[in-house]
A and B are shown apart, each in its own frame.
Chain A
Amino acid sequence: MADQVHFELVSPERLLFSANVGEVVIPGTEGDFAVLPGHSNLISTVRPGVIHILDNGAQVSDRIFVEGGFAEVNAGGCTVLAERAIKVSEIDRSKAEQALADAREDVQDAKNDTERNAAILAVNIAEARLNALNTSAY
């Protein structure tokens, strides 16, 4: 099928998503990018954010939140390797808010640079997760 992209989302524990879709929008570290059929070969890191999966009519059919990872696009399709991923509809708002508050506290309490960097990373992930809930699909 020429007008479809084969998209796979893989985590270390299992294959999360594998299907032919119309278009995928991936939150790269240097900005979101959309993968359409015939995209040039690309390897990019992924920041914490939402992957939008669009069907053939350019309607968003799935939104999946990932905590970073990296994406590979080649002639065979698009593969995202993410350590943790969850569907946006399955995010628990109170838990997400709690995680953000905890992470912010950790930044305050950090004793050294390594701890602080780890905590800041956690804040970014938690913020991105809440953002994913607050924003709707394109």
Chain B
Amino acid sequence: MPSLKDLKIRINSTKNTQKITSAMKMVSAAKLRRAQEQAEAARPYAERMEKVLGSLAASMAGKDNAPALLAGRGSDAVHLLVVMTSDRGLCGAFNSSITRQARKMARDLKAAGKQVKILCVGRKGRDQLKREFPQDIIGTIEDVAKPRLTFEAAAKIAVRIRDMFEAAEFDVCTIIYNKFKSAIAQIVTPQQLIPFALASANENAPTENAGVASTLYEYEPDEASILADLLPRNLSMQVYRALLENSASEQGARMTAMDNATRNAGDMINKLTINYNRTRQANITKELIEIISGAEAV
């Protein structure tokens, strides 16, 4: 049976932990709102980009001079996985669910006889992956979202990916990130960046084609050079979008995790307090009995 003093110390330390977790919850709620606003602001650009790219890609389809970023190089021997995680922990299963997916993909690719390279964005992903794939990690990018996430930072990552592609260091690039659905639900999403797969083209192909057929564009200069100009921009945009989704997801996951932690701490404090009061009462009763039986004996 712990003494009264031990119990008091435990209650106090749990209370301190609860203060920290509830503060962290509030901080991430504020950050989540900001991240969501940022993601919202990026949407018009992404949508228009996708529309233009869709109509261009449709008109380029079937031609054999399509740029390598769109059509690929015809081989898929070397895969690059860009694993996006956070720099900080205490956000529930956020990082482990991404690395689990990354690990699975890497294993599957290796089993199929492909070579795998991993580029980590965020410290946590590297820490979790370096145990199993120490030779495959070719680099880590840290602190992308410090002090805040900018398009420039995303463009830098995109340039690095593009340089590697042009140096023929990989054939297929896939980015793995958490798509933000709500504060409670994040979906791990692998998305192929190079060669570029038009996400919307697969989902609503009929409407897409109808839209292209009804608006015929003049191109200035020609389609091929516009496409060549557009694809690198699109790559940056996709990276930026993934980073935005990821940072919103991270804050959401942290908020939920810290909410749970705060509630658990509360439960624990209640239990400990009951225990404390019982022990105190038992001590008083014991003392009383001692006094009474002492008085009776006299």
Contacts and interface: CB of A to CB of B under 8 A. Distances in A.
A114 B219 CA distance: 28
A137 interface: no
B3 interface: no
A43 B225 CA distance: 11
B199 interface: no
A15 B41 contact: yes
A81 B49 contact: yes
B217 A10 contact: no
A12 interface: yes
A81 B151 contact: no
Interface in A2-34: 8, 10-15, 28-30, 33
A91 to B, nearest CB: 18
A107 to B, nearest CB: 18
Contacts of B229: 45, 70
A45 B240 contact: no
Interface residues of B, number: 30
Nearest to A31: B220
Contacts of A75: 215
B2 interface: no
A81 B45 contact: yes
B210 interface: no
Contacts of A43: 52, 56, 217-220, 226
Contact of A29 (B155, B217, B220): B220
Given A12-B240, A30-B221, A45 B216 contact: no
B228 to A, nearest CB: 10
Contacts of B163: 114
Please list the 7 inter-chain residue pairs (A to B) with the smallest Cβ-Cβ separation, ordered nearest first: A44-B220, A14-B41, A12-B151, A41-B217, A10-B45, A42-B218, A43-B217
17 contacts: A10-B44, A12-B45, A13-B42, A15-B41, A33-B220, A43-B52, A43-B218, A43-B226, A44-B226, A45-B220, A45-B229, A70-B229, A74-B217, A81-B45, A83-B155, A83-B233, A114-B163
